[in-house]
């Protein structure tokens, strides 16, 4: 489809700059599969809206504090290094100094003057050596520490929360908790799986009381989630790659849900992409335990094989995520829901409100 088909008007003041005071306080727009009667509800009501005994699948990726703010060791000039992807552990040979144990990352760099390869950036207790160019034109950097502390611990201590570009403020202490889901476990994401930000431990407990089973996938959200679509035909869009894993435990949980005739509910588009990427070619509705990369692009016309219901935030205009939601809930129905959400002052994007949809038939 043409990308212009996924456009809508959004006043800038609808873009949430902060989360709600409590996770469950976000609004929830329920989009019925067989009616145009949209329902304005609340996330706190999810335990009553999700069918008893359903399988709820979350993304347990953990956002890393990928923004390191430092200074050039030789001039004191300010530098921002944004860690994108871990490459390997390596011993760096330092001219005139002792070898240094380091983690090599691909990264973005920003400074007032060009960065010079072979130089160091100091960010608190973290030393960043600029090594050269790596894949996709990204910087290759070696990250080490001044003190005998684990490198990842130093990154956690010195790094900043990588808030998305449409949040027009610096990160604050509250973001360390609220831009992380309560079930975050596996470090690696550069952006939060935002639908999961709404789920509190209390809400998960209420779902359990109703017999809902909880399972997890891991999909590390990358910078590509904010990559604008530059082509007119979505078929020509070079979809970004993201690392994901479906465990045997989760595959078994999906099989049990099928046996008891209960729906699989995805908390977020990242869960949809992971589950559909691992869909079994032989058993419809089931998945195969998988660890790998996905470049799955979902748009209207896609035949969903695993996910039955979806909780998702509101997404950017002209984006692959909006195309996925339109494919899932029905193109006209979803865009009508977006227009309704704008009229009703719903809050949009990462810290915004959510929708509950059932797969269109």
In degrees rounded to 5, what are phi and psi of residue 138? -75, 160
The residue whose two tokens read 């060009």 is 114
Whether residue 94 is predicted with pLDDT greater than 90 in this model: the reply is no
Q: Which residue has the higher pLDDT, 93 or 83?
A: 83
Percent of the chain with pLDDT over 70: 99
Whether residue 204 is predicted with pLDDT greater than 80 in this model: the reply is yes
Overall average pLDDT of the 211-227 stretch = 91
* pLDDT tens track for 325-357: 999 999 999 999 999 999 999 999 999 999 999
Domains of the chain with bracketed CATH: 3-63+174-358 (3.40.1780.10), 67-158 (2.40.10.240)
Cα separation, 145 vs 172, in Å, equals: 24
The residues, any chain, with a CB within 8 Å of residue 261's CB and separated by 6 or more, are: none
Indicate the pLDDT class of residue 98, thresholds 50, 70 and 90: confident
Rounded alpha-carbon distances, angstroms, from residue 234 to 1, 155, 313: 6, 37, 21
Full-model pTM: 0.95
Cα separation, 254 vs 308, in Å, equals: 11
Mean pLDDT of the chain, nearest integer? 95
* pLDDT tens track for 6-17: 999 999 999 999
pLDDT for 224? 79
* pLDDT tens track for 17-75: 999 999 999 999 999 988 789 999 999 999 999 999 999 999 999 999 999 999 999 99
Q: Tokens standing for 103?
A: 């983690």
* pLDDT tens track for 190-202: 999 999 999 999 9
Cβ atoms of 268 and 309 within 8 Å: the answer is no
Cα separation, 293 vs 73, in Å, equals: 37
Indicate the pLDDT class of residue 250, thresholds 50, 70 and 90: very high
Helix intervals (H) in the chain: 46-49, 151-158, 173-178, 201-209, 248-259, 269-277, 320-329, 331-343
Q: Which residue has the higher pLDDT, 189 or 34?
A: 189
Cβ atoms of 339 and 13 within 8 Å: the answer is no
Rounded alpha-carbon distances, angstroms, from residue 249 to 253, 277, 288: 6, 17, 11
Pairing of strands 120-123, 100-111: unpaired
* pLDDT tens track for 294-320: 999 999 999 999 999 999 999 999 999
Please classify residue 27 by burial: count the beta carbons closer than 10 Å to its beta carbon, then call 0-12 exposed, 13-18 middle and 19+ buried.
buried
**DSSP secondary structure code for residue 236 in this structure:** G
* pLDDT tens track for 149-165: 799 999 999 999 999 99
pLDDT for 96? 66
Cα separation, 350 vs 161, in Å, equals: 13
* pLDDT tens track for 102-131: 999 999 999 989 899 999 999 999 999 999
3-state secondary structure of 325: helix
3-state secondary structure of 356: strand
Whether residue 228 is predicted with pLDDT greater than 90 in this model: the reply is no
Longest dimension (CA), the chain: 72
């Amino acid at each position: 489809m043409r990308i212009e088909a996924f456009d809508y008007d959004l006043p800038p003041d609808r873009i949430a700059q902060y989360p709600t005071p409590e996770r469950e306080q976000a609004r929830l727009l329920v989009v019925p599969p067989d009616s145009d009667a949209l329902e304005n509800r609340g996330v706190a009501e999810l335990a009553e809206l999700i069918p008893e005994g359903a399988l709820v699948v979350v993304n347990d990726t953990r956002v890393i504090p990928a923004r390191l703010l430092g200074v050039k060791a030789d001039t004191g000039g300010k530098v921002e290094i944004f860690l994108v992807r871990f490459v390997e552990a390596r011993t760096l040979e330092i001219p005139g100094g002792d070898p240094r144990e380091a983690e090599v990352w691909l990264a973005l760099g920003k400074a007032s003057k060009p960065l010079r390869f072979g130089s160091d950036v100091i960010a608190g207790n973290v030393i960043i050596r600029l090594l050269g160019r790596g894949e996709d034109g990204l910087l290759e950097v070696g990250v080490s520490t001044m003190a005998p502390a684990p490198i990842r611990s130093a990154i956690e201590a010195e790094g900043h929360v990588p808030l998305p570009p449409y949040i027009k403020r610096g990160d604050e202490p509250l973001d360390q908790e609220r831009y992380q889901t309560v079930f975050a476990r596996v470090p690696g994401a550069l952006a939060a799986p935002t639908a999961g930000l709404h789920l509190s431990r209390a809400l998960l407990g209420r779902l359990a009381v109703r017999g809902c089973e909880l399972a997890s996938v891991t999909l590390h959200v990358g910078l590509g989630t904010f990559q604008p679509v530059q082509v007119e035909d979505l078929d020509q869009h070079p979809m970004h790659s993201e690392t994901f894993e479906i465990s045997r435990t989760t595959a078994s949980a999906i099989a049990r849900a099928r046996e008891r005739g209960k729906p699989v509910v995805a908390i977020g588009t990242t869960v949809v992409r992971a589950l559909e990427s691992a869909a079994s070619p032989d058993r419809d509705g089931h998945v195969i335990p998988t660890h790998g990369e996905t470049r799955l692009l979902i748009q209207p016309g896609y035949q969903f094989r695993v996910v039955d219901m979806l909780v998702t935030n509101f997404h950017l205009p002209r984006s692959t995520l909006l195309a996925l939601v339109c494919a899932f809930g029905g193109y006209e129905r979803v865009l009508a829901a977006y227009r309704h959400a704008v009229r009703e002052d719903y809050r949009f994007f990462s810290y915004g409100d959510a929708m509950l949809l059932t797969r269109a038939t």
